[in-house]
Structures are given as structure tokens and as C-alpha cells.
Amino acid sequence: MAEVIRMPLLSDTMTEGVIAEWHKKVGDTVKADDVIAEVETDKATMEVIGYVEGTLLYIGVEKGKAAKVNGIIAIVGKPGEDYKSLLEGGNNNAPAAAAAAPAKEEAKPAAAVAAPVADNGAAAEALKNATVIRMPLLSDTMTEGKIIAWNKKVGDTVKSDDVLAEVETDKATMEVIGYAEGELLYVGVKEGEAAKVNGIIAIVGKKGTNVDAILAAEGKPAAPAAKAEEKQATPVASAAPTATPETSTSDNGRIKASPLAKKLAEEKGIDIKQVTGSGDSGRIIKKDIDNYVPAAAPAQQPAKAAGAPAAKAAAFVPAGQEGFTDIPLTQMRKVIAKRLSESKFSAPHFYLKIDVNMDKAMEARKSINEISPVKISFNDMVIKASALALRQHPAVNSSWYGDFIRQNHHIHIGSAVAIEEGLIVPVVRFADQKTLSQIAGEAKDLYDKAKNKKLQPQDFSGNTFTVSNLGMLGIDEFTAIINPPDSAILAVGNIKETVISEKGQFKAVNIMKLTLSCDHRSVDGAVGARFLATLKGYLENPVTMLV
């Protein structure tokens, strides 16, 4: 069966995308992980992956022209397959046109396909009054998204700019906008469950639209999905009388709160039911958690603490007990595990270590910060020095692509940041062309976004080299796993006072240990060594970075 490829939602403000380049032409074979096109959005140019296999049968948008989000841009199927039925009833302006896919069988003898024709007719009629909302592609490595929260329930009125749901991807939690108006007729994925990219997550349209016909045309069971909605609503409704929320609850008893607010409340031990929401319709947001001060908690806690020791001491008999907690994997953690495993076991790593005397760098930083509009960190100096060294050693600024090595002309430095869910790498673009204060200001903004889950896809993609710094955590030295598609990653250790011998005299100097992990397929040992020597020169004599 032919599959429709639609214009994905690649940023939270995107309404349409311009086809910057097609990487496939009609008749080409397409694999599930092939990049079929490059799309220019309002924020960046990103790759579009179809996640389907077959032959490219149809291209709906020419290079240089735009398509609305969810509009049909291509169709993939078997060679010679009739795909025209997929375009009936709206082409690019009918986001749910793919539901008509089974109609291709109409070309066969009429008697043999009488029932499917009837079902397809009902689906086509239903699609005139409804729009299918699909799981958008929210990051360049995303294959599925997990529904964290639905902001609408079946029966609610939906406007074109309403946020329908919040989705956790491999990189961040982002909002999904349906760009459709009407009533929410169907929810296909429960909170806490995942859906593949391009999978149906909801249907919006006129009340009374035949949703079952649309789902049947997509090959999805209609009746069980409807029953699941009823079952999901029933326990919540029955639980409402026993809950004691003061504010911020919906009619079915569910607490209205953003995923970040829920997470912060859990981390801080705050009963979110007691928090008053200041967001839309009383929704609890991050600010409400940050500003929440429990009135009764301080008085209650000492009372409990006073009577607790005797009871706990008497009950605590075992010297120790076995126990464990199974923590469900987040989308980010799944992708970290997958990509770094692929990197470690497919890329032949080798490691180069060097000691850097940071005495002059420490003096220079102190002087620079007296006049800089933003505080310069040692990590900012490492990013700048790495970028300048990459300019002199472009072989390190490369990527392995199996049949060829791509040597990048631009220098985008990724700086690894640890957050609760795992590791993310915001990218400082054109770092070699920026001043230290520009790098420091941009890096600070990116780190703040990362910690607050506000990074957009263009903020954490496109790196050509990565810096991972654990020195601020007291780690003297370590080795890092290469961050694809880079060919190298620099592990930065702590600056530590060390006694050395120089010309027969002992003296204390401040040493920082650097370890360069290299992909031996694209970077040779001598190339990596020369890069490290250049980097060392910049850091030991920072004035050379200002030339």
C-alpha cells in the first residue's frame, strides 16, 4: 500500500516549509531511514525522513516552493502502484488525505473490491468535514513521540492555534498544534503512550463526522479505540469525588499542569493539588511551583519529626533489605543509549591526552572579565580555542558517511549539558568567527534553555565537533564517546595545581588535562595529535586567540 509523506512540524512556530532540496527523484528506491528532502522552516533548514520503504511515486511540491504543515509532499509505494486516489479530496491542503490510501484497489475488478470501495467512499466523505492530526517530526532524530499530556479532551472545541498536546521527544518536551478547527472527535494515543512519527494521534472536525470510516481506511480498529476513550474517562470521573484539589482541576478531575510543573513539584515534594495555577484556565505552570510556599508544612514537619525517632528505631530490625526501582526510559534516554551505542561499537575510537598549563589563561580570564559584558568561563575559552584549532586542522572537523568523508567548511561546536533526563548538546554556530563574549552569552542562553526544556531543534543539531567538560564537577580527566556525526570529541578535566620540575627547579602550576576521542576511520593519530598541539598553544597563550 502506498504511503503519504507529509510536511512535518519542525518548529513550534512553523506553519509551512519550503523545499530547499530533494534528495530523491520519482522512481528512486527509498529506505525507511533515507533523507528524502531538506526543508527550510522559519528557524532552520532541516532534513525530512519518510520512515517508509518503497519507490518514490510522486513529488507534490517543487524545489523552492512551500507546503503547509501536514500537507502532502510525496508518496512512496510499489513501482507502478496507482496513488491518485490518495490525492483526491484536497491534495496538499487536505492533511488527512492519506486516509484514502486503500482506494488504490478501486482499479481492480469492481466485484472483488465492492466493500472497500464503500468504506473508502465513507472515509472520503468524512474527510471533507474532518482533519487528521498526526505525530509531527519534532527533531532530526525522532522516530516516535510520547504523549505527556492532552490539553483537550474528546468533545472540546478546538481552534487552529490551540495546543492539543505536549509530546516528549528524544531531545525535549514540545507542544503540538493541530492547525485545525472544530471539535476534538477522537484521541488515538493515551497520555504516557508513544506514537510513531506520522501516526494518527487525533481527529478534529464537525460534530457527528464518521470517525470510524476514517480509522478503518487507515487500517485502524474503530470500535476498540472508542471504547478505550470511555474507559479512560470513567475512572477519572469516579475518582473526582475522592480527590481534594483546591484549584487547577478540569471537569473530569485531572490536574491542569504543564509537564515541567509536574516534574518540579515531584522533585520538590510539593503536593501539586495544593498549588494555585496562574496559566490559562487555571493551569499550573513552572512559575507557580517556583513561587509556592506551603503554609502548614513548617509547623507539621517538626511535630512529626519529634515523635518519629522512637517509632522508627523500634521498627527498624533488619540490618539491610534488598530493593530496587524500575525507572521507565524517557525518549531522550532511549536515543542517547541507541546513538552512543552505535557510535562506540561502530566507530573505532582512539584517545589522545595532553596537559595544558592554564596559568596565563587564568590571568587572561580575570582581565577579560573586568571589561567583558558577560562573564567568560574556562569552557568558553576551550570552545573558542577548539574552533580556531579546527580552522587549522579541518580533517578533525569532519564526519564519516560510509562511502565518503564529509569535511565541513563551517565550525559548529556542541557543548554537552547534563540535565535530569540525560545529556543534550546545544550548538554554538560559527564559533571560530565569534568573540569570547559572544560565545559566552550564547552558551549561557543555550544552557538555560536546555535546563528549562526550551531548546528548539536548531539549537541542538548541526554540530561538527563537541566539547564535554566535567572539570567543574571535580573530575581530573576522563574519556568521552564521540557524538555522531562528529569525528572527534574533547573531554575537559579540572584545573588542578600540580608541582612540576622545570630546569632543575620545582614549581607549582595549574594543569588542565584534555583527552581527545577520535574516530580512526576519518581522523588519523598524527592529525589528532597536531590538532591537540595547536589547541594547547591557544590555551597556554590566550592572547593568540584575539588576533
Query: Residue 362: how many CB atoms within 10 A of its CB?
Result: 15
pLDDT of residue 56: 92
Query: Residue 250: how many CB atoms within 10 A of its CB?
Result: 17
Q: What average pLDDT does range 463-482 have in this prediction?
A: 94
**Of 161, 271, 280, 524, which one is the catalytic site residue?**
524
pLDDT of residue 297: 44
User: Alpha-carbon distance 43 to 36, whole Å?
Assistant: 20
**Sign, CA torsion 289/282/233/207:** negative
Q: What average pLDDT does range 307-331 have in this prediction?
A: 67
Q: For residue 22, what are the β-bridge partners? A: 37
Nearest to 332 by CA among 422, 243, 266, 251: 422
Q: For residue 177, what are the β-bridge partners? A: 163
Q: How confident is the model at residue 433 (pLDDT cuts 50, 70, 90)?
A: very high
Grid cell of 533 as nine digits: 598541539
C-alpha distances (whole Å) from 168 to each of 50, 174, 330, 472 are 20, 6, 8, 29
Q: Which amino acid is at 285?
A: I
Q: Which range is least confidently modeled, 90-99, 175-184, 356-365, 381-390?
A: 90-99
pTM above 0.85, yes or no: no
**Of 12, 156, 355, 520, which one is the catalytic site residue?**
520
Q: Does pLDDT of 444 surpass 50?
A: yes
pLDDT of residue 105: 39
Contact criterion met (CB below 8 Å) for 214 and 96: yes
Q: Does pLDDT of 294 surpass 90?
A: no
Please provide the average confidence, as pLDDT, over all residues in the chain: 80
Q: Does pLDDT of 242 surpass 90?
A: no
Grid cell of 14 as nine digits: 512553523
Q: Which range is least confidently modeled, 101-105, 269-273, 373-377?
A: 101-105
Q: Does pLDDT of 363 surpass 70?
A: yes
Q: What average pLDDT does range 412-432 have in this prediction?
A: 90
pLDDT of residue 313: 52
Q: What average pLDDT does range 477-485 have in this prediction?
A: 93
Q: Which range is least confidently modeled, 35-49, 339-353, 494-508, 527-541?
A: 35-49
pLDDT of residue 224: 44
**% of the chain residues with pLDDT over 90:** 37
Q: Strand locations in 135-240, DSSP E?
A: 144-150, 157-158, 163-168, 173-177, 182-187, 194-196, 200-205
> Which tens digit of pLDDT belongs to each residue from 3-16?
888 888 766 567 78
Q: What is the DSSP letter of 255?
A: B
> Which tens digit of pLDDT belongs to each residue from 146-192?
998 899 999 999 887 788 888 887 767 778 887 888 999 999 999 98
Grid cell of 254 as nine digits: 485531572
DSSP, residue by residue, 412-481: -EEE-EEETTEEE--EETTGGGS-HHHHHHHHHHHHHHHHTT---GGGSS--SEEEEE-GGGT-------
Between residues 547 and 517, which one has the greater pLDDT? 517
Q: How confident is the model at residue 117 (pLDDT cuts 50, 70, 90)?
A: very low
Grid cell of 59 as nine digits: 513529488
pLDDT of residue 17: 87
Separate counts of helices (H) and strands (E) for the chain: 12, 26
pLDDT of residue 327: 80
Q: Does pLDDT of 93 surpass 80?
A: no
pLDDT of residue 396: 97
Q: Which range is least confidently modeled, 86-90, 420-424, 526-530?
A: 86-90
Maximum average pLDDT range among 14-18, 238-242, 316-320, 371-375: 371-375
Whether 520 is a known active-site residue: answer: yes
Domains of the chain, first to last: 3-87 (2.40.50.100), 121-218 (2.40.50.100), 347-545 (3.30.559.10)
Whether 524 is a known active-site residue: answer: yes
pLDDT of residue 178: 77
pLDDT of residue 404: 94
Helices (H), 202-330: 211-217, 223-239, 259-268, 286-291, 297-315
Q: What average pLDDT does range 244-266 have in this prediction?
A: 64
